[in-house]
């Protein structure tokens, strides 16, 4: 029996399933409901209160609240190269309910024309300012998937330089780059980003050939699949493509500063084993993920935090 105070995410929901919920609510009640509303009001009782009020909170803000309440240390999750943090909603049922959870997303995804960062160091400084709006002092717990794993390292160094405690870094499947190797001849561009986006949604992008994709085409294809990104318009998709290309370009010249923070690393067993970090002050710790996604590296929320 599901009650009106049971959380959608505690019952097994995630960002992909939440898009289906948003579409069902829009059809049944004729309201324009944003993804962020489901993330911050995941029970029937909370959603009912939002239907008559402002239901268009921006799901593309830089700081995205996934769970705002809780008495313990918040978990701040930095986006992968794609720029969105919606997928971190899947963590809500695994992280103790007393820990608030926030996502950090790329600037400019709302189509408002915010300047993109020129370096990952600049991005990290922006995100440190964002998290200090809701938690002015430490300790801090930072999590990053893919590109986010590099960004949280830079954020930790900045916070420590300001005298703050970084209790834990959690790196999800980000590998140290071998700086001894030359840069690739070509970095990913916006067309590459659009193809990655469609590939993620299950399209056979090789069948598209070499034809250039338009933002309108991608929007139509996402809506045909009832994708979690189906609510995005052409400006949003264009912004995602720009952000992806920019993020990939910024990641190559990034040098990791030294930090003494504890770092746990998880990576899928099906990929090569994570190489030993070689940058100055490289943190230790970590463990693999089993193929079903269960962790063999320990609890995500140690008792000391």
pLDDT of residue 281: 44
Higher pLDDT, 173 or 64: 64
CATH class of 1-57: mainly alpha
Residue 109: count of CB within 10 angstroms of its CB: 25
Each residue's pLDDT tens digit, 17-66: 666 677 677 667 767 666 667 766 777 777 777 775 544 447 889 999 99
CA distances (Å), origin 245, targets 115, 118, 121, 187, 252: 14, 12, 17, 8, 12
Task: List the chain domain ranges.
Answer: 1-57, 68-85+94-176+189-305
Provide mean pLDDT across the span 264-271.
Answer: 58
Residue 300 has pLDDT above 50, yes or no: no
Read off φ and ψ for residue 104, nearest 5 degrees: -115, 130
Task: Say which residue, 297 or 61, is predicted with more confidence.
Answer: 61
pLDDT at 71: 92
3-state secondary structure of 35: helix
Relative orientation angle of helices 44-51 and 15-29, to the nearest 10 degrees: 50
Arch. (CATH architecture) of 68-85+94-176+189-305: 3-Layer(aba) Sandwich (3.40)
Buried b or exposed e, range 23-47, using 16+ CB within 10 angstroms: eebeeeeeeebbbbbbbbbbbeebb
pLDDT of residue 162: 94
Q: Which two tokens stand for residue 169?
A: 């870094």
E strands, 219-262, in order: none
The pLDDT score that the predictor gives to residue 290 is: 31
Q: What is the maximum alpha-carbon separation in the chain? A: 58
pLDDT, greater one: 78 or 209: 78
Mean pLDDT across the stretch 10-16? 67
CA–CA distance, 200 with 122 (Å, rounded to integer):
28
Gap between the terminal Cα atoms of the chain? 34
């Amino acid at each position: 029996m599901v009650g009106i105070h049971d959380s959608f995410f505690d019952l097994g929901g995630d960002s992909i399933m939440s898009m289906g919920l948003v579409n069902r609510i829009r059809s049944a009640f004729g309201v324009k409901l944003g993804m962020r509303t489901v993330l911050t009001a995941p029970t029937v009782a909370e959603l009912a209160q939002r239907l008559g009020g402002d239901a268009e909170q921006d799901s593309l803000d830089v700081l995205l609240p996934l769970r705002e309440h809780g008495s313990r240390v918040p978990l701040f999750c930095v986006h992968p190269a794609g720029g969105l943090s919606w997928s971190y909603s899947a963590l809500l049922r695994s992280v103790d309910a007393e820990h608030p959870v926030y996502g950090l997303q790329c600037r400019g995804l709302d189509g408002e024309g915010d300047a993109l960062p020129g370096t990952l160091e600049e991005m990290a400084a922006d995100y440190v300012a964002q998290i200090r709006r809701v938690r002015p002092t430490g300790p801090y717990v930072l999590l990053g998937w893919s590109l986010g794993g590099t960004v949280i390292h830079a954020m930790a160094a900045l916070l420590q330089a300001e005298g703050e405690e970084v209790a834990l870094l959690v790196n999800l499947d980000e590998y140290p780059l071998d700086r001894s190797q030359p840069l690739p001849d070509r970095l990913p561009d916006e067309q590459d980003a659009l193809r990655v986006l469609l590939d993620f949604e299950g399209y056979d992008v090789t069948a598209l050939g070499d034809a250039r994709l338009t933002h309108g085409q991608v929007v139509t294809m996402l809506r045909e699949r009832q994708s979690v990104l189906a609510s995005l318009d052409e400006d949003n998709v264009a912004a995602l493509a720009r952000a992806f290309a920019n993020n990939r370009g910024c990641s190559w010249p990034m040098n990791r500063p030294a930090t003494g923070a504890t770092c746990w690393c998880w990576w899928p067993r099906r990929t090569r084993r994570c190489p030993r970090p070689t940058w100055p002050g490289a943190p230790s710790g970590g463990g693999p993920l089993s193929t079903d996604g269960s962790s063999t590296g320990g609890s995500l929320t140690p008792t000391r935090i």
